[in-house]
Each structure stands twice: as structure tokens, then as C-alpha cells.
Amino acid sequence: MSQENGREIIAQGARAGVLLPLALDAVFDYHVPDGMQLRAGDYVRVPFGRKFAYGVVWGQGNGEIDEKKIKSIESLCASLPPMSDAMRAFIDWAAWYTLAARGMVLKMAISIPEALLSPEKETRYRLTLDMAAKLTPSRARIVAYLNDGVARSAKEITTQAKVSGAVLREFAKAGGVTKMQQEAVGAPSSALLASPPELSAAQKEAASGLAHKLATAFSVTVLDGVTGSGMIKEGEKLAKLAKNIAIKVPLTWDGLKACKHFTSKGTMVNVTLCFSAAQAILAAKAGATFVSPFIGRLDDVGQNGLELIAEICTIYQQYDSFKTQVLVASIRNPTHIVESAKMGAHVATIPPSVMKQLAQHPLTDKGLATFLADWQKTGQKIVA
């Protein structure tokens, strides 16, 4: 078995064992096609049934399946660094410890498969004004907006310059702007998040204004998140942004130490990544303002996330000294919200899609349709 930088290499023609983010514990054998060389931890796209799925190379295939039944790996996500040996070992351990399928634990590690895709290209327009092109008032607004030389999408141009898509396309045909393909703008590189940002005077003013517009608090994640000293150093800097900042720290020993440090100074703290009642007790004892149990992720690995909310609320209600509020996180549906509220949870982070579902009910839609139909039958109008 050959290795590269300590990683097992699977050469073309061999079998690779691939773990998929599904409710399965097994690693599936796939054929490594010609021209491809894999390492343990590589992200790959493979056929699975009638569809394709993204998975992680877990090592050599086991060779138990007949060669005629083995499918080939479709592609390698070459732009991504491989999953570390430590992470793969942790997934194996977490699955064993929680009696969950390894695929479900892997699903938490790559919960957004789209992140494995190569950056998409999008059409953008850059100003290359041809003086022969007739400059109408609409085109003049496009020129003014693109005058800084930055290529922008059609949506940005039509919105900011207040022109139609047809005007933009015709201006491109006339040579006033050049159409080009660029990578879509994504999240900032992790390198940009290596240290807290230095805010300019204008940025500090904007951050302060945003903070004061919020009624109670908002969270600021401590980016270092490894050592207590690192979290405290970054948290102290972030806490100066506004009085209603809530510093977010992970539920680890160092995170609890940082929590105690900040709450003793009157700074609010959100202790996140809580997955057990025992952890929640420690967060309350450390003086956390909020504790964030991730109920959706517990559901993903076969546990009942709402049971954890019930346990934490019951425990907190037994002790007057516990002032920590339960912030329900990783919400997946309206039932999570309603049941958590019935148990006594205080706060929730709710995705927009679930927020919209809260207002929806088929009888409301049916009743509204009936009301409108009855009103139209009267022939009346409130506003002419």
C-alpha cells in the first residue's frame, strides 16, 4: 500500500471504499477510473442508484462485491483539500459512541453538499463604452453605475441603474458593455477570518448603529475557538463593538472558562453546540446568558432533539440561581418551534423557510379564498 504525506493512495484500476452521507453504516466499493488517483479523505461524486451523491474516500475497497457490479467514481472534487485523518477517525468514533450510522455522522460534517461543487460561473457586464453607441438616458445610467470598472451581474445593473434587462442586452449588442463569465461571489476565504477585523471609523459607526437598533442582543462568534486565551482575547475585542453584544463560545472546557470570564464582567455569552443536559448544566453554572442546543442535528443521528429541550427546561426551572435562557438552534420545522415553546424555551434561531411555514395553514388559505369570492360578488370596491 503506497502513501502520500501519510495518506493511503488508491491508484487507477483499484477499488476505493466510499462513505456516503446517508443513513447507512457501510462503506461502498467503487472502481477508480483511468487517469484518476485518489487519497483517503478525498471528496468524490459517485453514482448511487439512479442518482449521484457526494462522499468521502474512506480507504481501499473491501473487494467483497463482484467486479461486474462495481460502478466507477464519476469525478474527484480536486479543488478541495481532503478530509483529515483526525476527522474521519472522529466520525467513526462518534458513530460508535452514539450507535448511529456512520453515514449520518458524515452528513453533519458535509451538511451542505453544494459546498463541494466547483465555483459556478455567472454572467457579468463590464463597461467598455463604444463612443459610436447611442447614449440614451437609460444607457447613461448604466454608464454611471459601471464607471468604477467593476463587472457586475445583470440583476445588480438593472436594479441600481433602474433599467430593464432588454435595455442592458441591447447596450451590450451596441458595444457599450462587454459580457463576461466570472466565478460567482461566495463566502469569504477562511484566511480572511484568521483574526478579528480592524474596523475603520465609518465601519465602527455603522456597527454601533446596527447594535443599538436591535432590542436586546445579537451574537458575535469568537473565531479562534481553540484555546481559552485565544477566545478571551478575541471576545474582549468584539465586546467593545456595543453594549448588547453576546459573545458566542463553544461548549468546551475552554469555552466554559471564557464564558465565566465574560459573564463576570457583565458581557452576555451564548454557549453553543450543546448536545446534552449535562453540558447545559455546566453552561448555566458558568453563568451563560444563552445555551444553544442543536436539536435538528440530534434528530439527524437518530436521537430526539426535543427531548433534550424538555430535559434542559425542566432542570433550569428547578433552580432560581440558573438565569440561562434556552436558545433552540438547528430548527427544521414548525413542530420544533411549537413544542419548544410549550416546554418553556426562551429563544430560537429560525430559518426563513420555517418562519414562513408558521404563518401557513390550508384552512386559512381556503377561508381567504372564500372571503374574497364573497366580496367580489357584491361588486363593491373600497379603493377605486
Reference 163, options 145, 184, 175, 181; nearest CA is 145
Q: In this predicted structure, what is the pLDDT of residue 173? A: 87
pLDDT of residue 185: 52
Query: Of these residues, 204, 248, 265, 285, which one is catalytic?
Result: 248
Residue 9: per-residue pLDDT: 82
What residues of the chain score a pLDDT lower than 50? 1, 186-194, 223-225
All three cell numbers of 339? 413544542
Q: What is the pLDDT of residue 64?
A: 80
Pair type for strands 218-221 and 3-4: unpaired
In terms of Cα–Cα distance, which of 127, 131, 134 is closest to 149? 127
* pLDDT for res 285: 96
Q: What's residue 365's pLDDT?
A: 87
Task: Identify the burial level of 274 via C-beta atoms within 10 angstroms of its C-beta, where 0-12 means exposed, 13-18 middle and 19 or more buried.
Answer: buried
Q: What is the pLDDT of residue 306?
A: 95
User: What is residue 188's predicted lDDT score, i.e. its pLDDT?
Assistant: 43
Helix (H) / strand (E) containing 257:
helix 253-263
Predicted confidence at residue 4, as pLDDT, reads: 56
Res 337: pLDDT = 95
248 is an active site residue:
yes
**Predicted local distance difference test score (pLDDT) of residue 217:** 61
Residues 241-295: pLDDT tens digits? 888 889 999 999 989 999 999 999 999 999 999 999 999 999 999 999 999 999 9
For the question of whether the overall pTM of this predicted structure is more than 0.75, the answer is no
